[in-house]
A and B are shown apart, each in its own frame.
Chain A
Amino acid sequence: MSLLEIESASVYYEDFQALYDITLKVEEGEIFACIGANGAGKSTMLKTVAGVLVPRRGRILFDGQPIDHMPTYKRVELGISSVPEGRRVFPSLTVHENLLIGAYRNRKGPWNTDAVYELFPLLQPLRKRQAAGLSGGEQQALAIGRALMANPRLILMDEVSLGLAPVVIKRIYDAFPTMIQNGCTILVVEQDVQHVLAVANHVACFLEGRISLMGKPGDFTTEQITAAYFGV
């Protein structure tokens, strides 16, 4: 049984259909990458898994259990945690308080504030600073740390490298193996294909609300991926 199964899900924003019959499976312990251009539906898919959006048709199973009508906060209790697009750290809270909010549901597991500071040492000296004053890279590290504090089984990452310097992007991708070792499965959405394909076990390319290509990254040539990405 896969950790996450999306079965022919169709998702709408009011009258606008954003996803058409999406089906995919994410296995426990892997890095699953979703790539695609702006507006292809990758983030919509993540929001549907997190519970921000509800599919009009189709099902979402987490660990075999249907979750598509479960409120967001209960999904966190089951072990689905998010690194939202744009980071969305709580600006008026300190770095340390942001991390503590991540642990709001008290799920047991290997992650606590010390473990997060060890994973991202750059956060340690900032612990008493308000998150509003952090740089983009620091906020992204904080957003990931905050999601880990929930001790997730599945972590949803939306556009983790968007707007960050290459050195920061590297530091974030370097943290992935530690996260996997500690029992996380990673579902990551990216526009920046190069980095994510180097680490992903599976990839799905989104194009206009549909999956245009899916499989192991090594099975495809760059030309095939480019074609699936741009739909040419």
Chain B
Amino acid sequence: MDWINAAVQGILLGGLYALFAVGLSLVFGTMRLVNLAHGDLTILPAYVALMLVNALMFNPFYSIPITMVILFIVGYLLQRGLLNFVVGRGDIAGVIVTFGISMVIQNGLLLGFTANSQGLDAGRVENLSIKINERLAVGWLPLIIFLMSIVVITALQVYMGRTKMGRAFRAVSDDQEAARLMGINTKHIWAVAMGVSLLIVTIGGVMMGIRTTFDPLLGSQRLIFAFEAVIIGGMGSAWGTLLGGIILGVAQTLGAQAFGSAWSILVGHLVFVIILAFRPQGFLAKTVTA
């Protein structure tokens, strides 16, 4: 029963990883930019929410929509003001600039909030759980996060598949120059993609802030989890990313169950490396070439 419990917790954790990862995958898909600041951009919304909660004294759940709007704007401006200049100039330029952004965010947060761990207090819901039997219980909060990840991925699929903007995203992803020749302003599309990426990350970042504590230096670890979820799932597939997140989450919780909690992250990485060796394209990769 402990094993089943660990697996269930791992699946729920996977939803959270997917929330971090789909934004990374969206940005890479539309502009081939490897965003090394993505991990820190999962931490930033938690601090934005913290400031809102401190200023307005409301439940952190209410801060989520406001923080989403703020982070969308941050993403849009970051892309138009800075990152648009590195798109299409090779991988190295993007890596260096986003690494720089990562440093700026980390150190900015350290200056503003110190290295102490912070938390967002949502009240009773944090401790409520559904008891299935004596030894298996599912926390409401992890369950809500998991369900949110499904809602977000479904919404993203509908947005990409059914709307004019989503169609433009996919066209730009296929062929930038041809997209411009069809009247698409790629600079605007990239900025919206970055905005949407951060909007999604906000949901994961703030929910994680409610579920556990956070500090300014957690970003790099989350970046790696996000990368692993995307790669295990396969590029270009949002449901694949959810699957990747779940595989990673389950590997971590089962690893902890088997060898003790110190092994959790290492086992997750090992499973990732094994999958990378035998199925480097991921499980649900969707790639089309002309």
Contact = CB atoms under 8 A, between A and B. Distances in A.
A73 interface: yes
A126 interface: no
A93 interface: yes
Contact of A104 (B168, B174, B290): B168
A212 interface: no
Contacts of A92: 170, 173-174, 286, 288
Interface stretch (B137-145, B179-187, B252-260): B179-187
A72 B168 CA distance: 15
Contact of B174 (A50, A76, A82, A90): A90
B171 interface: yes
Q: Is the interface of B mostly helix, strand, loop or mixed?
A: helix
Interface stretch (A25-33, A94-102, A175-183, A194-202): A94-102
A150 B288 contact: no
A52 B288 contact: no
B182 A91 contact: no
A82 B177 CA distance: 11
A148 B31 CA distance: 27
Given A88-B175, A89-B290, A132-B290, A104 B170 contact: no
B167 interface: yes
B181 A72 contact: yes
B174 A72 contact: no
State which size class the interface on A falls in. 20 to 34
Contacts of A81: 181
A104 B181 contact: no
A104 B184 contact: yes
Nearest to B172: A90
B288 A88 contact: no
Contacts of A73: 180, 183-186
B181 A76 contact: yes
Given A76-B182, A93-B170, A100-B164, A88 B177 contact: yes
Contacts, number: 76
A63 interface: no
B130 to A, nearest CB: 41
Could you say which of B171, B182, B289 has the most chain A C-beta atoms within 10 Å of its C-beta? B182
Given A89-B290, A91-B288, A101-B168, A146 B174 contact: no
A90 B288 CA distance: 10
Interface in B179-209: 179-186
A92 B161 CA distance: 11
A72 B180 CA distance: 6
Nearest to B177: A52
Contact of A88 (B170, B178, B186, B286): B178
Nearest to B188: A73
Interface string A100-134: 11101100000000000000000000000011100
Interface string A48-83: 001110000000000000000001110011000110
Nearest to A130: B288
A71 to B, nearest CB: 7
Contacts of A104: 164, 168, 182-184
A225 B259 CA distance: 82
Interface in A122-160: 130-132, 146, 150
A84 interface: yes
A131 B167 CA distance: 14
A146 B288 contact: no
A101 B181 contact: no
A51 B183 CA distance: 11
Contacts of A90: 170-171, 174-175, 178-179
A46 to B, nearest CB: 10
Contacts of A97: 167, 170
Nearest to A91: B290
> Which 10 pairs, one residue from A and one from B, show the smallest C-beta to C-beta distance?
A76-B183, A105-B183, A88-B178, A92-B288, A91-B290, A90-B174, A82-B181, A72-B180, A73-B185, A104-B183
22 contacts: A51-B180, A71-B180, A71-B185, A72-B181, A73-B184, A76-B183, A81-B181, A84-B177, A90-B175, A90-B178, A90-B179, A91-B288, A91-B289, A91-B290, A92-B173, A93-B171, A97-B167, A101-B171, A104-B164, A104-B182, A132-B289, A146-B182
Interface of A: 50-52, 71-73, 76-77, 81-82, 84, 88-93, 97, 100-102, 104-105, 130-132, 146, 150
Given A73-B180, A101-B182, A104-B184, 5 more contacts: A73-B183, A91-B174, A91-B175, A91-B290, A93-B170
